[in-house]
């Protein structure tokens, strides 16, 4: 018997397990042998049976195993597939979950962003509110500021105006005072100079030069008494003669000290007086030194011009000056222009001429315009270089000509427009040495003779001027002729008499001093001089006082100017501030406008929505109610009630050209099925209040019908004439048709076609009516109709309008107009003399409502 063993079943089953245990038991049990022995035969049969049954069972089991195997394989396959699909699904799930994750992340981000937006929107709204508040506050502030500013501005401008006026007056006053003061000052100054003497003589003595000192020359001038203006000339140790001059300058006096007393002449020249400063004396006594000086110690010429420019600068706000300089010399009675270059010299002979104003001048003489001291110095140096210099025995470098500088001054007073023209002559005369001493001959003798002659002529002129002689011999020499304008009249003359301290030059010194003494003595007597010192002091004080006053006034003016300037600046600042505030207001206003527009749009859209919903609701209700049709009268009354409740009763309802009513409803407030919500109109209405006065005209011109199904009939294109009240315009007061005749009998006509109505509905004028009567009646009717329409035309719903069309009582007792409910038929009923009815009756009258095709009551 084959022993079933070694069967291995992978999947455990209870059944299998039991059999296996049995098999195992039979194989391994120790009792097996005993069983075999004891009942072999018996057992053999049983065993065979058992074997058979076991085999069968085994077969069955095998089959089952096979089936199970197949099933198992199938299941495995399914399992594998399931695993695979599970994996796929897992992957998919993973992908999906990842996607979901990313989506969640994105959503989270969006949510965050949304919340951020919300918060920012909230912030913005809050900011907007704050801004609005700010704007209101700023507007208020601005308005108060503006008011304040305007008040301030008015106040300030009035203050400025008054101040300005005051300033102008003060300025004018000061100007007048200044002019007066300047004039006074000039006069006083002139007087001072007059008192000092028109011709003043200063004496200057040069120091002994090295040669003289070396030779042991003794001093012939005693300067002990020079302090009192007296000069003592000694000879051989004893006093020989005493001279008195306006000023005496010892050899130690420097150029500045010499010029100190000369400076007032510069002021006189700028004041418009002619002046002449000349140096007279023996050769080598220092005439050129005094007048021209050296580069280190400048002389009178340079210093005078310097003083001129200083005063010009001082007076620049009051007077404008022009200065020009000419440099010339008179040599051997001939005039030479020293500012002309060497090659041009002598080309043209210069002569002295008198112009139309009686002034003497040399035509063709170069006039160098100078604006500053550099230019002056340039001109002076040019002249000095060109000067003819001769050499004599007395002085190696003595000049043999009269060197003349002419300074021409033109002045224009900017305050009073006064113009002045004056001349200053600065003359370095040629040496006045004696011919015998210098032992000159020939050309030099001629030069000396000419020089002496001209100097003598100068003396004569001065003498004649002093004695106020009728004839002054100016023309005796070129020198005096040239100085004619500056030696006579109001001109000031200053003479420097230059002397030598050397005892050897005593005779020349005495000669010069005598000449100077004669000049001075003739001009100014001692008595006059005394007056001079007293008066001078007095006038000096006056001048000082005037100067101080002027300074004070100037200071006051400057202060006032500063105040005005400060006010100007303040005003400008206010202007700027105001402008910025205005800009801010404008900006806020525009912002507000935008916001308002948005709000309005929002409200409009809300209203439109509401209207649409209501309209839909209404339509639904109507459709529901349609099958159960109410009797017309009750419907009409219902509609009437409805309309009267919904529409304001006092709004006139105009007719259109087609005699169809255009519905006029307050678009935003009334709930009406046919309400036309015209946003643009509403906007216009809001922005333009005038529109309110006109009735709102609906866009849809459909006619309302009594038929409950069809509420509106489309407007007929042709104008309807079945009414007596055609209104052509949309104005609140409709215009009446021109000719209307009084109706005499009731005519009831059914009108099939609107176009064919005209001739039928209008009453024929009767033969009994005179044209006048007709006219009067027509007028009356017109006015009554108009009045009635104005009173009775009320703002109704389309249904109400239709009802109105049925019959119109125009307020006259016997005039009734009936119009078919569909607007096609009308019947005119009445007709008699039109007369006014009492107001109560009029009020009682109502629009008559007719049936579809019947005439009204
Ligand atoms: N006050 C003074 N102090 C110093 N030096 C002087 C003074 N006066 C004249 N001199 C000197 O004396 C010399 C002669 O002077 P200057 O040439 O001016 O005389 P002048 O009178 O002009 O002679 P001329 O008639 O020949 O022209 C010069 O060298 C000058 O420097």
Q: Of the candidates 817, 818, 810, which has an alpha carbon nearest to the alpha carbon of residue 842?
A: 810
CATH code 3.10.20.740 for 198-523? no
d(CA 289, ligand 1 centre) in Å: 5
Q: Is the CB of 287 under 6 A from ligand 1?
A: yes
To the question of whether residue 286 is assigned a binding role by annotation, the answer is yes
- Ligand 1 atom closest to the Cα of residue 283 is 25
Q: What is the pLDDT of residue 225?
A: 59
Averaged over 749-772, what is the pLDDT?
43
Contact 750, 726 (CB under 8 A): no
d(CA 440, CA 330): 19
pLDDT of 303 above 60: yes
Instruction: Identify which of 258, 288, 331, 438 to mutate to test ligand 1's pocket (most ligand atoms within 8 A of the CB).
Output: 288
Torsion angle of C-alpha atoms 140, 143, 147, 149, degrees rounded to 10: 100
d(CA 82, CA 271): 131
Q: Of the ranges 369-383, 453-467, 771-785, which one carries the lowest mean pLDDT score?
A: 771-785
Q: What is the pLDDT of residue 795?
A: 41
Matching residue, tokens 């200083």:
310
Contact 231, 243 (CB under 8 A): yes
- Ligand 1 atom closest to the Cα of residue 395 is 26
Q: Of the candidates 158, 141, 134, 136, which has an alpha carbon nearest to the alpha carbon of residue 578?
A: 141
Domain ranges (residues) in the chain: 198-523, 630-844
Of the two residues 637 and 473, the one the predictor is more confident about is 473
pLDDT of 290 above 80: yes
Of the two residues 331 and 707, the one the predictor is more confident about is 331
Q: Is the CB of 285 under 6 A from ligand 1?
A: yes
To the question of whether residue 342 is assigned a binding role by annotation, the answer is no
Q: What is the pLDDT of residue 201?
A: 87
Contact 138, 577 (CB under 8 A): no
Q: C-alpha 504: how far from its chain's center?
A: 85
Q: Of the candidates 10, 93, 141, which has an alpha carbon nearest to the alpha carbon of residue 582?
A: 141
Instruction: Enumerate the H helices of 700-813 as residue ranges.
Output: 758-761, 771-792, 798-806
pLDDT of 759 above 70: no
d(CA 269, CA 247): 21
Of the two residues 17 and 465, the one the predictor is more confident about is 465
Q: What is the pLDDT of residue 307?
A: 92
Q: Is the CB of 512 under 6 A from ligand 1?
A: no
pLDDT tens, 656-692?
444 444 444 444 444 444 444 444 444 444 444 444 4
Instruction: Identify which of 202, 253, 284, 391 to mutate to test ligand 1's pocket (most ligand atoms within 8 A of the CB).
Output: 284
Percent of the chain with pLDDT over 70: 60
To the question of whether residue 287 is assigned a binding role by annotation, the answer is yes
- Ligand 1 atom closest to the Cα of residue 431 is 25
pLDDT of 713 above 80: no
Q: Of the ranges 100-109, 329-338, 438-447, 663-672, which one carries the lowest mean pLDDT score?
A: 663-672
Of the two residues 320 and 706, the one the predictor is more confident about is 320
Q: How confident is the model at residue 226 (pLDDT cuts 50, 70, 90)?
A: low
What is the residue-wise DSSP string for 438-499? HT--THHHHHHHHHHHHHHHHHHHHHHHHTT-S---GGGSHHHHHTHHHHSTT-EEEEEEEE
To the question of whether residue 420 is assigned a binding role by annotation, the answer is no
Angstrom distances, CA of residue 450 to CA of 269, 334, 360, 473: 30, 10, 22, 16
Q: C-alpha 279: how far from its chain's center?
A: 66
d(CA 287, ligand 1 centre) in Å: 6
Contacts of 57 (CB under 8 A, 6+ apart): 19
Tokens (6 digits) for 595: 């916001």
Q: How confident is the model at residue 449 (pLDDT cuts 50, 70, 90)?
A: confident
Q: Is the CB of 654 under 6 A from ligand 1?
A: no
């Amino acid at each position: 018997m084959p022993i079933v063993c070694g069967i291995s079943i992978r999947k455990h089953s209870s059944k299998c397990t039991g059999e296996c245990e049995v098999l195992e038991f039979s194989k391994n049990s120790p009792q097996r042998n005993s069983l075999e022995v004891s009942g072999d035969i018996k057992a053999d049969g049983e065993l065979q049976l058992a074997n058979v049954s076991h085999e069968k069972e085994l077969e069955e089991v095998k089959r089952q195993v096979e089936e199970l195997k197949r099933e198992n394989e199938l299941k495995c396959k399914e399992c594998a597939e399931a695993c695979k699909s599970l994996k796929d699904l897992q992957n998919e799930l993973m992908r999906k979950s990842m996607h979901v994750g990313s989506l969640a992340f994105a959503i989270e981000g969006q949510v965050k962003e949304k919340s951020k937006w919300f918060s920012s929107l909230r912030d913005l709204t809050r900011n907007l509110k704050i801004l609005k508040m700010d704007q209101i506050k700023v507007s208020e502030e601005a308005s108060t500021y503006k008011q304040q500013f305007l008040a301030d501005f008015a106040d300030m401008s009035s203050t400025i105006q008054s101040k300005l006026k005051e300033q102008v007056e003060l300025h004018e006053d000061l100007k007048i005072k200044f002019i007066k003061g300047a004039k006074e000052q000039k006069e006083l100054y002139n007087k001072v100079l007059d008192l000092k003497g028109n011709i003043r003589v200063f004496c200057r003595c040069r120091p002994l030069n090295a040669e003289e000192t070396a030779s042991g020359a003794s001093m012939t001038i005693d300067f002990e008494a020079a302090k009192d203006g007296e000069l003592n000339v000694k000879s051989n140790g004893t006093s020989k003669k005493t001279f008195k001059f306006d000023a005496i300058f010892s050899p130690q006096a420097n150029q500045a000290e010499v010029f100190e007393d000369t400076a007032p002449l510069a002021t006189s020249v700028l004041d418009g007086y002619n002046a002449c400063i000349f140096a007279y004396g023996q050769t080598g006594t220092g005439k050129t030194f005094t007048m021209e000086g050296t580069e280190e110690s400048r002389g009178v010429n340079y210093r005078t011009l310097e003083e001129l420019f200083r005063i010009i600068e001082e007076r620049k706000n009051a007077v404008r000056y022009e200065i020009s300089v000419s440099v010339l010399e008179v040599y051997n009675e001939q005039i030479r222009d020293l500012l002309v270059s060497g090659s041009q010299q002598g080309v043209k002979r210069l002569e002295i001429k008198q112009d139309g104003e009686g002034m003497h001048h040399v035509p063709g003489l170069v006039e160098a315009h100078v604006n500053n001291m550099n230019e002056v110095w340039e001109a002076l140096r040019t002249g000095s270089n060109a000067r003819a210099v001769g050499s004599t025995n007395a002085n190696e470098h003595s000049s043999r000509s009269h060197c003349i500088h002419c300074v021409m001054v033109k002045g224009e007073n900017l305050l009073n427009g006064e113009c002045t023209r004056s001349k200053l002559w600065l003359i370095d005369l040629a040496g006045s040495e004696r011919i015998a001493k210098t032992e000159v001959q020939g050309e030099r003798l001629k030069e000396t003779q000419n020089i002496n002659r001209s100097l003598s002529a100068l003396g004569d002129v001065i003498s004649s001027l002093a004695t106020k002689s009728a004839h002054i011999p100016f023309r005796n020499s070129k020198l005096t002729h040239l100085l004619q304008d500056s030696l006579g009249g109001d001109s000031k003359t200053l003479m420097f008499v230059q002397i030598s301290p050397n005892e050897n030059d005593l005779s020349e010194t005495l000669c010069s001093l005598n000449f100077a003494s004669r000049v001075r003595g003739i001009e100014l007597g001692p008595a006059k001089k005394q007056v001079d010192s007293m008066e001078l002091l007095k006038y000096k004080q006056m001048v000082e006082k005037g100067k101080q006053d002027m300074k004070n006034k100037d200071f006051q003016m400057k202060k006032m100017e500063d105040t005005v300037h400060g006010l100007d600046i303040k005003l400008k600042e206010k202007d700027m501030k105001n402008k910025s505030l205005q800009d801010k207001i404008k900006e806020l206003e525009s912002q507000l406008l935008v916001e308002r527009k948005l709000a309005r749009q929002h409200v409009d859209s809300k209203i439109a929505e509401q209207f649409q919903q209501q309209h839909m609701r209404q339509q639904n209700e109507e459709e529901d109610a349609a099958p159960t049709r109410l009797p017309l009268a009750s419907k009409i009354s219902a509609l009437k009630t409805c309309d009267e409740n919904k529409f304001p009763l006092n709004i006139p309802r105009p007719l259109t050209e087609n005699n169809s009513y255009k519905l006029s409803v307050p678009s935003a407030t009334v709930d009406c099925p046919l309400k036309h919500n015209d946003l643009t109109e509403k906007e216009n209405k809001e922005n333009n209040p005038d529109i309110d006065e006109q009735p709102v005209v609906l866009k849809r011109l459909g006619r309302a019908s009594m038929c409950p199904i069809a509420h509106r009939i489309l407007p007929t294109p042709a104008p309807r004439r079945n009414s007596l009240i055609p209104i052509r315009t949309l104005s609140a007061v409709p215009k009446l048709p021109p000719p209307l005749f009084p109706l005499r009998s009731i005519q009831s006509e059914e009108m099939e076609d609107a176009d064919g109505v005209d001739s039928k509905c209008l009453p024929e004028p009767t033969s009994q009516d005179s044209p006048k009567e007709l006219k009067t009646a027509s007028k009356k009717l017109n006015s009554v109709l108009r009045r009635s329409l104005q009173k009775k035309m009320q703002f109704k719903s389309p249904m109400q309008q239709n009802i109105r069309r049925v019959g119109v009582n125009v307020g006259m007792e016997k005039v009734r107009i009936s119009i078919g409910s569909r607007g096609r038929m009308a019947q005119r009923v009445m007709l008699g003399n039109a007369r006014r009815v009492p107001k109560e009756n009029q009020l009682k009258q109502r629009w008559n409502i007719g049936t579809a095709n019947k005439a009204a009551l």
